[in-house]
Structure 1
Amino acid sequence: MEFSERLSALAAKVRNQREAITTEEATKNAFVMPFISSILGYDVFDPLEVVPEYTADVGTKKGEKVDYAIMRDGEVQILIECKKSVEPLAIEHAAQLYRYFSVTNARIAVLTNGEVYRFYTDLDEPNRMDRRPFLVLDLNDIDETLVPELRKLTKEAFDLDSVISAAGELKYIGEIKRALAAQFREPDDDWIRLLTARVYDRSFTKKVRDQFAPLVAKAAAQYLNDQVNSRLKTALGSGVHAPAAEEAEVTSAESAAADLDRDTGITTTLEELEGYQIVKAIACSEVKPQRITHRDSKSYFAVLLDDNNRKTIARLHFNGKSRRYLGVFDAEKNETRHLIESPDDIYLHAEAIRSSVRNYLAD
Structure 2
Amino acid sequence: MDFEERLAALAAKVKNQRAAIQTEEATKNAFIMPFISTILGYDVFNPLEVVPEFTADVGVKRGEKIDYAIMRNGEVQILIECKSSTAALSLEHASQLFRYFAVTNARIAVLTNGAVYNFYTDLDAPNRMDEKPFLVLDLADIDETLIPELSKLTKEVFDLDSVINAAEELKYVGALKREIAAQFREPSAEWIKFFTGLVYDGSFTQKVREQFSALVPKAARQYLNEQVNDRLKTALGASAVAATSAEPTESITSHPVVQGDLDRDTEIDTTPEELEGYQIIKAIACADVKPQRVTHRDAKSYFAVLLDDNNRRPIARLWFNGKKQKYLGIFDEAKNETKLPIDSLDDIYEHADLIRSTVRSYG
Q: Does 1:160 align with 2:146?
A: no
* Structure 1, unpaired ranges of 5+: 305-312, 329-335, 355-363
Identical aligned pairs, as a percentage?
A: 64
Do the aligned residues in 2 keep the contact of 1:251 with 1:293 (CA within 8 Å)? Answer: no
AA paired with 1:324? Y
**Alpha-carbon deviations, 1:103-158, whole Å to 9, x = none?**
00100000011111000001111111111111000011000000000000011111
Q: C-alpha separation between the residues in 2 aligned to 1:89 and 1:242? A: 48
Pairwise CA distance, 1:13: 0.8
Pairwise CA distance, 1:280: 6.4
Do the aligned residues in 2 keep the contact of 1:301 with 1:315 (CA within 8 Å)? Answer: yes
Query: Which residue in the other structure is 2:96 paired with?
Result: 96
**Alpha-carbon deviations, 1:227-275, whole Å to 9, x = none?**
22222222222222322497555438x999x99xx9xxx8945x43422
Query: Which residue in the other structure is 1:272 paired with?
Result: 274
Moved more, 232-241 or 7-16: 232-241
Q: How does 1:225-244 map to 2 (within 5 A)?
A: 225-243=225-243, 244=246
Query: Which residue in the other structure is 1:37 paired with?
Result: 37
* Structure 2, unpaired ranges of 5+: 247-252, 307-314
Moved more, 239-248 or 113-122: 239-248
Q: C-alpha separation between the residues in 1 aligned to 2:298 and 2:45? A: 46
**Alpha-carbon deviations, 1:135-183, whole Å to 9, x = none?**
0000110000000000000111111011001001101100111111111
AA paired with 2:113? N
Q: C-alpha separation between the residues in 1 aligned to 2:89 and 2:242? A: 47
Q: C-alpha separation between the residues in 1 aligned to 2:86 and 2:183? A: 26
Query: Which residue in the other structure is 1:323 paired with?
Result: 326
Query: Which residue in the other structure is 2:65 paired with?
Result: 65
Query: Which residue in the other structure is 1:251 paired with?
Result: 259
User: CA, structure 1 residues 42+238, in 2 after alignment: closer, same or farther (shift >3 Å)?
Assistant: same
SS in 2 for 1:69: strand
SS in 2 for 1:33: helix
* TM-score of the pair, normalised by structure 2: 0.79
SS in 1 for 2:103: coil
Moved more, 272-281 or 216-225: 272-281
Q: How does 1:141-160 map to 2 (within 5 A)?
A: 141-160=141-160
SS in 1 for 2:67: strand
Query: Which residue in the other structure is 1:197 paired with?
Result: 197
Q: C-alpha separation between the residues in 1 aligned to 2:241 and 2:105? A: 57
User: CA, structure 1 residues 42+231, in 2 after alignment: closer, same or farther (shift >3 Å)?
Assistant: same
Pairwise CA distance, 1:202: 1.5
Query: Which residue in the other structure is 1:208 paired with?
Result: 208
Query: Which residue in the other structure is 1:171 paired with?
Result: 171
SS in 2 for 1:78: strand
* TM-score of the pair, normalised by structure 1: 0.79
**Alpha-carbon deviations, 1:45-64, whole Å to 9, x = none?**
11111111110001111111
AA paired with 1:12? A
Query: Which residue in the other structure is 1:361 paired with?
Result: none
Q: C-alpha separation between the residues in 1 aligned to 2:357 and 2:6? A: 27
Do the aligned residues in 2 keep the contact of 1:8 with 1:286 (CA within 8 Å)? Answer: no
Query: Which residue in the other structure is 2:20 paired with?
Result: 20
SS in 2 for 1:132: coil
Greater relative contact order structure (CA < 8 Å, 6+ sep): 1
Coordinate RMSD, CA, aligned: 3.6
Q: C-alpha separation between the residues in 2 aligned to 1:114 and 1:326? A: 37
